[in-house]
Amino acid sequence: MTPVLCPRSSVECSMSEFAIRADNLSKRYRIGPRESYKALRDTLTDALVAPFRRLRRTGDGGRKTGDGLPGPRSPVPGHDSHIWALQDVSFEVKPGEVVGIIGRNGAGKSTLLKILSRITRPTRGRAEIRGRVGSLLEVGTGFHPELTGRENTYLNGAILGMGRAEIDSKFGEIVAFAEVEKFIDTPVKRYSSGMYVRLAFAVAAHLEPEILLVDEVLAVGDAEFQKKCLGKMGDVAKEGRTVLLVSHNMGAITRLCRRAILLDQGRVRLCAPSDEAVAQYLSLHSTGSAEFAVARPSPAPGHPDFTLRAVRVKDSRGALAASIDIRHPFCVEIEYDLRRPINGLRVGFRLLTSEGVVVFSSTDRDQEGAGGPDRTAGVHRSRCEIPGGFLNKGHYSVSLGIDVPMVQSILFLDGVVSFFVEPTGGLVGAIPDNRLGVVCPRLPWTVERL
């Protein structure tokens, strides 16, 4: 993959041609109370009463008397400040490349697309775009509730840059895609929210620009329509058009985009293949606790020779991870110290859902020969690997259990670590198939003709 020039990266872009180039784009917004504006009537009134106000002050020795008349409005000190929505964002996109823009709410994703769409100007820096641009930033922009679906299709198409002949040629395809044939001559104010967004997306999705900027529109409608949206975006990508896609659907990013740009607090944190960028995004702001490390290890209450050191959740790369990609394996590690061998020691855990349902229990004695009574003194690590595509999406916690079966309970810790399983791609595509149950394993099937 061709390297790109990004902040915090020493890799230089070797592309001779580009569709989009951003060079140190920055955008600053002013936050605080809105500045007050006077009407013409107020200005004239102030001018007329100003001489009387001065005379009254003179008669009172220059003291304010509180005459109730409006005076000059000064801002409250300390209430105005500024925030940088983007800071020194630089990247390049090749013609025909589909690039994802990911990050938390407030990271600057929508601001970036608005600058590239020329809706707002950057505070500093510049962007260069080569080709006709189509923007899909807000589904339904330009729709008028009193107009029919047909009229809004023509109106919205014109707003998005389509000529009447182009709309005429694609009108049937747009209506069929939106599935609103029966209601196309009904005012859209009588549409359900699902019908409204379906028609809006259908109009915008049938543009044929050289560059398409898309902001979080793959989340519209029901699951079936989302699949159609993803399919349409895939068709756009296959046609060789350049696409910048902002989405919180990590499955869509990994499926449609070979590369992704991770924004964090207005800065480019990472430009990388989409799988790598998604993994970094999931681990960056997770609220789970992937590690329990004992600051001052001491012997367990149930046995003076056993000391717990740490419990960790690690992803397939061996890194601490409180967010796990549903497709990839991960492991639970338990690190402990034995002052002397403990005959028959068993180290294990229970995995529980956020509702407290036990998914399964497992110990290091499950496999024959593992964790036998000949464990010597010293630091040990018991490690259990959980395969990818086994757990369903959701939040899970690990409860630790150490014992000698049928003899002695050494240590039990409830909810010692926790993690999320994220539906990045699901099992069959970018939209998870929402299987019921705690687990969603891919089991072997056979199909035969009888």
Least confident of 40-49, 82-91, 291-300, 373-382: 40-49
Q: Check: pTM over 0.75? Answer yes or no.
A: no
With bands split at pLDDT 50, 70 and 90, how would you rate the model's confidence at 11? very low
**pLDDT at residue 352 is higher than 80:** yes
Task: Assign 221 a pLDDT band (cuts: 50, 70, 90).
Answer: low
Tell me the pLDDT band of 368, cut-offs 50, 70 and 90: low
Local confidence band at 74 (pLDDT 50, 70, 90 cut-offs): very low
What is the per-residue pLDDT for 310?
95
Instruction: Tell me the mean pLDDT in the region 20-27.
Output: 94
44 burial (CB, 10 Å; 0-12 / 13-18 / 19+) is exposed
Three-state SS for 262? strand
| 94 pLDDT above the threshold of 50 | yes
Question: Which of 1-5, 19-23, 142-146, 445-449 comes out lowest in average pLDDT?
Answer: 1-5
Which CATH superfamily hosts domain 291-422?
abc- transporter (atp binding component) like domain (2.70.50.60)
Token digits for 228? 């159609």
Cβ neighbour number for residue 349 with a 10 Å cutoff: 24
Residues of the chain with CATH 3.40.50.300: 20-27+83-281
pLDDT recorded at residue 149: 92
The tokens 């929210």 sit on which residue? 193
- pLDDT 10s digits, 179-204: 889 999 999 989 887 788 788 878 87
Q: Does position 127 have pLDDT exceeding 90, yes or no?
A: yes
The residue-averaged pLDDT of 302-331 equals: 92
Q: Which residue in the block uniquely carries the two structure tokens 């330009």?
A: 142
| Contacting residues for 250 by C-beta, under 8 A, at least 6 apart | 102, 278, 281, 282, 422, 423, 424, 425
**What tens digit of pLDDT does each residue of 373-409 get?**
568 899 999 999 999 989 998 889 899 999 988 888 8
Name which of 419, 442, 416 is nearest 324 in CA terms. 419
Mean pLDDT of 218-223: 61
Q: What is the pLDDT of residue 32?
A: 67
State mean pLDDT over 249-275.
88
Q: Where in the chain is the domain with CATH 2.70.50.60?
A: 291-422
Residue 79 amino acid letter: H
- The more confidently predicted of residues 250 and 58 is 250
More confident residue, 294 or 373: 294
**pLDDT the model gives residue 60:** 54
Q: For the chain, what is the largest distance between any 2 Cα atoms, rounded to a whole number of angstroms?
A: 110
What single-letter amino acid sits at 264?
D
Spatial contact of 251 and 423, defined as CB atoms under 8 Å apart = yes
Three-state SS annotation for 309-377: EEEEEECCCCCECCEEECCCCEEEEEEEEECCCCCCCEEEEEEEECCCCEEEEEECCCCCCCCCCCCCC
Q: What is the structure's pLDDT at 9?
A: 38
**Pairwise pLDDT comparison (23 vs 280), residue with the higher score:** 23
Q: Residue range 413-419: average pLDDT? A: 89
Do the Cβ atoms of 380 and 338 come closer than 8 Å? Answer: yes
Q: What class does CATH assign to 20-27+83-281?
A: alpha beta
Q: How does the average pLDDT of the chain come out, rounded? A: 80
Average pLDDT over residues 350-358: 83
Residues 171, 176, 180, 183, CA torsion sign: positive
SS3 content of the chain, % helix, strand, coil (to 5): 25, 30, 45
Q: Give the least confident one: 34-43, 102-111, 240-249.
A: 34-43
Query: Is the model's pLDDT at 261 over the cut of 90?
Result: yes
Q: Give the pLDDT band of residue 59 (cuts 50, 70, 90).
A: low
> How far is residue 419's CA from residue 277's CA, in Å, rounded to a whole number?
19
Q: Mean pLDDT across the stretch 33-57?
A: 69
Answer yes or no: is pLDDT of 349 > 90.
yes
Cβ–Cβ < 8 Å for 24, 125: yes
For the chain, give the percent of residues with pLDDT over 70: 80
The mean pLDDT value for 61-81 works out to 46
Residue reference for tokens 């229970």: 350
